[in-house]
Amino acid sequence: MAIDSPFGGRPRPAHASLFLRDDALRRGSAGVIDAARLILADMDAVLDAEGLNRSHRDVLALIAADPGLSMGALQARLPLSKQNVHRLTATLLERELIRQEAGRDDRRRRLFYLTEAGEALDRRLFDAVRGRVKQAYRQAGPEAVNGFWLVVEALAAGGR
> Beta-carbon neighbour count of residue 113 at 10 Å?
15
Strands, E assignment, the chain = 69-70, 98-102, 110-114
CATH tag, 39-127: 1.10.10.10
The pTM of the full predicted model, rounded to 2 decimals, is 0.79
So where are the chain's domains?
Answer: 39-127
Is pLDDT above 50 for 1? Answer: no
> For residue 21, what is the enclosing H or E element?
none
The residue among 51, 50, 76, 48 whose CA lies nearest residue 62 is: 76
Is pLDDT above 90 for 118? Answer: yes
